[in-house]
Structure 1
């Protein structure tokens, strides 16, 4: 059993690094981004290297991730956990060592005390954010300079704090129970309406621990749902 989030990701990548792990749709912009296990792993490694090599962070440190469901959010979350950090997603501001925000959460982010702050526009093709808000560094630009592989000097342990005060082991057990509740089985291809399931425990961690792949949709258009289910070989729809 995978008792930590990095272990669950490693198992998913090891199973088949070439098949889609997360496919992102935004029906407002027409954006579609598909990440295989290997591609997601590269983004996760770059993010972890940014935090560890770039900022000198590691176990015992923390990050605020004030971002909506998105493929970049998945990479940032998984990267912070790979680096050994605890993640806070709000709403209670507190001192953290790193912060990730986007234009819609900049005002809320101002209440947080952070050592280093990164912004992303969550734009198609991971395009740079213009202009970059004062006091922020563009995540999508900065992260590209870091390595595609990451090896933790102290891998996460089940008792380590992971998300909003909950440890990896508890998240693992909760995810297994939630997967049974939602009907997510190993090997499933799950279409998720991000508006209905905004919690990363649902749209990211539960499918990951269950061994499922994700079709994550923002602003899901009901008119295209049936066609998307067929095109993406979806076996379960959560909307």
Structure 2
């Protein structure tokens, strides 16, 4: 997975996750319809009979997404010190290869680069604080260490079924071969490096029988990919559209 440079105006992260996929695998297996994910058959309704409904499934999916929020890894306790360390590291590399680069790392050069790094780090820390503000009531340590069944909050009976299904799912995860092919497409790398947005977005490609896109606040975009040959132009259009939501 490639992530755009923090110093840019917009940041895009595109990838896939077996944890997120599991929630959709469960949805299809059970047959529960949660708009706009209502294009699959009725399924066995085992979880619905235990009390799972559209809202409780969506609440569960949001907790799984919190576990993936990359901004929660962005914390910088002392931006000035880290900026100085980055300048010194870069300076050391250049001086060790002075015959190749021929750059004078004088005080002005150091000051300019420290300002660039400082701006980048401050923006990074702001992203981290924004992520924290979205999760004030949550136990982030528990979420980080839990698998999807453990994140289910609405009833022990459903959690027990999900635990059994999680074991069953292990032999079937990543069965959509087209998702891994998409992630190796150079166009997606260009989207990440040159994002068509001024916001931070995490886009997850998910196995689902129909083409659906949804934005889940504050940063998550779900783009479903059926397990069949891809219309690349159509997929590109879908990704660009949800990025700009």
**TM-score bracket for the superposition, by shorter chain length:** under 0.3
Q: TM-score, normalised by structure 2?
A: 0.23
Task: Give the number of the structure whose residues are more often helix, by fraction.
Answer: 2
Taking CA–CA contacts closer than 8 Å with sequence separation of 6 or more, which of the two structures ends up with the larger relative contact order?
Answer: 2
